[in-house]
Amino acid sequence: MNIFVLSSRALASNVSWDPVFELENIVVRTCNAQLLVPSARDVIQWSSTLYPLVGRIVRKVVKSTTGVYNLPLLPQLSDKPNVLLIIGLAGANLELLSSIPKWRERFDVVIAYIFDSWAPEIYSKNVYHLDHLFVALPEIIDELKKRFGIPVSLIPFAADVLDQGSCQLKRSIDLTSFGRIPSQYDTVFLNKFNQPGSEQIYFKSTPRTAEKFPKLPYEMRRDEPDTRLLFHILRHSKLTLAFDTLYPGMRRFPYSFITLRWFYGTATGGAVVGKRPTTPLMDELMNWEDATIELPDDPQKSVEFINELLQDEVRLNSIYKRNYVESLARHDWRHRIQSMLEAVKIPLPQGLLEELSQMKMIHEKMVSRF
């Protein structure tokens, strides 16, 4: 079995893509997969600086002639089954499959995992030729199946619990926020905790500037260091903020969605406080005691609530351990990779089996301590 991962890492660099590339790296390592990294042709990069209408015309001409992407090293295929995996932020990213000439004929199995899977109208036409599509949103599955006529399955988000998870008790940051949260909560936390004389620390992560067609290769950029830093901050955070995507003040989403921050927060042990997603999937995936803690609707009362919670060390210490243990057993990316491969009847690679076994041993050891 030969597994190949088709990556967009030469086309974009921002915090939204960081988890995609993190997952790709885990697949490459655990599945002994080969990474394929197409780049955009120079004329395409140049066209992005033109007026939108002119840029679209140039892109259309290039697409119909030389092709948009440049992939000088085509995969060396053998007589073994050859599997191609592409992970994208949105359905439009499936266009990257066109970087491999005759990609459908070259590979025995082609599967895709799309993070933000709604908006079927923006999917690349390549989707019709997939063997299996995996998405993180159950509510959209039936529509995608009907529209594209291919198998579609749920693969929820997860985290690298094995390498980045923690249940450490010594934590120096009281409250951490990363990604979007309602501004009314952010304001009161800043005004209350980050003032002279305050004993609490509210850390708000600020994303780096997005870069299209990054000049440096992935290995020389901040993508991986930023991910490692975020996890290190979360490991030292007592509380992590997270809000339902449908809560007032959040970015507009069509559904209640369990975003990555819920899995990152529980993997690193800290108590996740905010507004729990209302999707039924949340009750299935995070159904243990104190998996999430609801904040009051009044942001000012939330300050008082958090201050009281921070004083309850017994409860917090229990949460740190429980969140980590549950995440190890249920919400590591390796479990998701296993589910994808089993869905298309691909034998699990030895490296993946070894790391799954390692997680099981750690989990059993942790459970015996409770």
pLDDT in tens, 215-255: 999 999 999 999 999 999 999 999 999 999 999 999 888 99
> Are the beta carbons of 125 and 167 closer than 8 angstroms?
no
pLDDT above 90 (res 72)? no
The model's confidence at residue 93, banded by pLDDT at 50, 70 and 90, is very high
What string of DSSP letters covers 194-237?
A: SSTT----EEE--PPPPEES-SS-GGGSSHHHHHHHHHHHHHTE
Q: Is 64 exposed, middle or buried (0-12, 13-18, 19+ CB in 10 A)?
A: exposed
For residue 36, list its beta bridge partners. Answer: 6
The residue behind tokens 């940051």 is 173
pLDDT at 51: 74
pLDDT above 90 (res 301)? yes
Q: Beta strands 2-6 and 211-212: pairing type?
A: unpaired
Opening angle at CA 58, ends 54 and 64, nearest 5: 145
Mean pLDDT of 289-294: 97
The model's confidence at residue 67, banded by pLDDT at 50, 70 and 90, is confident
pLDDT at 363: 94
Mean pLDDT of 167-183: 95
Q: What share of the chain is helix, strand, coil (3-state, %, to 5)?
A: 45, 15, 35
Mean pLDDT of 293-313: 96
pLDDT above 90 (res 45)? no
Tell me how long the chain is.
Answer: 370
The model's confidence at residue 2, banded by pLDDT at 50, 70 and 90, is very high
pLDDT at 141: 97
For 11, 27, 44, 159, the CA distances from 41, given in Å and listed in that order, are: 10, 27, 5, 33
